[in-house]
A and B are shown apart, each in its own frame.
Chain A
Amino acid sequence: MIDNFLELKGVSKSFPGFKLNNISLSLPKGYIMGLVGPNGAGKTTTIQLILNMLEKDAGEILVFGKDNVKNENAIKQEIGVVFDSIFYVDSWTVKDTEKAVSIFYEEWSHDVFNEMVKRFDLPQGKKVGELSRGMQMKLMLACAFSHSAKLLILDEPTSGLDPVIRDEFLEILQEYIKDGERSVLFSTHITTDLERVADYITLMNQGEMIYSGSMGDLLGSYRLIKGRARDLTAGLEKSIVGLRKTDMGFEGLIGEKEAAQYKSCVLDAATIDDIVICMSKGGTKK
């Protein structure tokens, strides 16, 4: 019996000039899902729909198995949110922030918050607006952790942060899911952060969902194929997604099964970036 903490079924939302089309994904309890795609892919819109900050046109969103609109308040008690920029008042201190945010949570733990503040080394005297971007992100995390949130929703939390903080951040996330009772949805365009640590991945581009499932399955389904011009047969060319031809030869994405026939070419493991780039070049062939 799989407990899905987050489920989207056929979710759509139209704007003038952009359409989020038929997005479906499932995130089980105890795992990390990456939401990946270039800017404008619809990642933030998807998160806003989950949080009911936008009304969906079609589809179903279930959080902890419950409808996200009908049970909005109950659900939000157990969700922690971090955005790419701070959403607290810049003149607040750390203490003011706790005062403000704790108003909304029945299970706020002052002790946990203090522990987080100490652990993240957040300066108590400074105002939120004076904190570095990394500190601001940690403050949002500290608040997210202080009310027993079971689901963390992070919208580009590490964009603009240096590798040291990003690494620290991943460790914090892995610590968070360690008991198997909590999940993380992590939207980013920094794919290297996700590649090793995320269990599941949803790939989006231009409002469409290209893939949603386990990271292992995605990376195992494709290879990056490279070869000389003479190796590019008509049959091979049809199988390649996002073909790139140069004077030196060609390269592109090919399915794992088809790749077996072309041992004379170089077959590398495909990274998420390779897959995203090739697919956005060559359409969403699977």
Chain B
Amino acid sequence: MNGVMKMTKLDFITMKSQFWAYLSLVAIIILFWTMGSSVVLLCTSGAWFTALMAINIFAIQEKNGLDRLYGSVSVKLKEIVLGRYVFMFLNYLMAFFATIILYFGVGLFLNEILHITDVITGFSISFLMFSAIIGVQMPMFFKMGYTKAKVWGLVPFIAVLALSIAIQSFANTPLSGVVAFMQSHKDILIIGGILASCIIQFLSYQIAVVAYRKKKRG
């Protein structure tokens, strides 16, 4: 196992106490589903709540002084940071799979028509949103620690929420043209979304490494 995977495994063991939070996440997804949300909305709200919950690992890290554990074992700084990004990504994937299992499972049971394209669109948009949120947060948390970065960390959440509400309400304005364009060229949207997410995560990782290196970790 290389250093990155070791750190990711450690992160999961670290979050052991948050098991109930993971369960309530599943409950939230079910709740949204019962409200008749579309797949895209299910994926994005699942991702939004996942980001909210998974970022708690920084709180646990700070509270227990885990920087000292990371510093005393055989992993390089880059592996510590990358391991955390992988951890966040796996959290996202878990939420995403929970969502589509629910969607497909119940959908097949109720004999509903399932749209694979919607699922893939849902993945792209929700992953983009997830990347945007944690992409902004992670370098901040690595640099300042949980307590100091907490307030600033809320900004991307609120921004994304506000943006999504704004997009929905722009349905009847000139921007509706853009929305319509995107809806008719779903493949561009999907690929663009995934590409943008990767770029955001990559840039965020580079910044986070520099930020963590500068932090006093003792």
Which residues of chain A have a CB within 8 Å of any CB of chain B? Answer: 44-45, 47-48, 51-55, 72-74, 76-77, 79, 81, 83, 85-92, 96, 99-101, 103-105
The residues of B with any CB-CB pair to A shorter than 8 Å are 1, 3, 6, 9-10, 13-14, 16-17, 60, 63-69, 71-76, 213, 216-218
The residues of A that contact B13 with a CB separation of less than 8 Å are: 89, 92, 96, 99-100
Please report the number of residue pairs spanning A and B whose Cβ atoms sit closer than 8 angstroms.
78
Contact in complex: A88, B72 (CB < 8 Å): no
Q: Closest approach, in angstroms, between the C-beta of A63 and any C-beta of chain B?
A: 13
Which residue of B is nearest A49, CB measured?
Answer: B218
User: 5 closest Cβ contacts across the A-B interface?
Assistant: A91-B17, A53-B71, A104-B73, A81-B72, A73-B74
Query: Please, which residue of chain A has its CB at the minimum distance from the CB of B3?
Result: A73
- A77 nearest CB across to chain B (Å): 5
Contact A72 B68, beta carbon cutoff 8 Å: no
When A72-B76, A76-B72 are in contact, do A89 and B9 touch as well, CB less than 8 Å?
no
Can you give 16 contacting A-B residue pairs, CB < 8 Å? A48-B71, A48-B218, A53-B71, A74-B74, A76-B73, A79-B72, A81-B68, A86-B65, A87-B65, A89-B64, A103-B6, A103-B9, A103-B10, A104-B6, A104-B73, A104-B74
Give A73 to B68 CA distance when docked, in angstroms: 15
Judging by beta carbons under 8 Å apart, are B216 and A54 in contact?
Answer: yes
The answer to whether B71 touches A51 (Cβ under 8 A) is yes
Residues of B within 8 Å of A87, CB to CB, are 64-69, 72
Task: Point out the residues of chain A lying under 8 angstroms from B60, CB to CB.
Answer: 89
Residues of B contacting A89 in the complex (Cβ-Cβ under 8 angstroms) = 13-14, 16-17, 60, 64, 66
Structural contact, A77 and B218, CB atoms closer than 8 A: no
- How distant is B11 from chain A, measured CB to nearest CB, in Å? 10
A32 CB to nearest B CB, Å: 20
When A87-B66, A89-B14, A89-B64 are in contact, do A104 and B75 touch as well, CB less than 8 Å? yes
User: Is the pair A91, B65 in contact by a Cβ cutoff of 8 Å?
Assistant: no
Min CB gap B18→A, angstroms = 9
When distances are taken between beta carbons in the complex, the residues of chain A under 8 Å from B16 are: 89, 91-92, 96
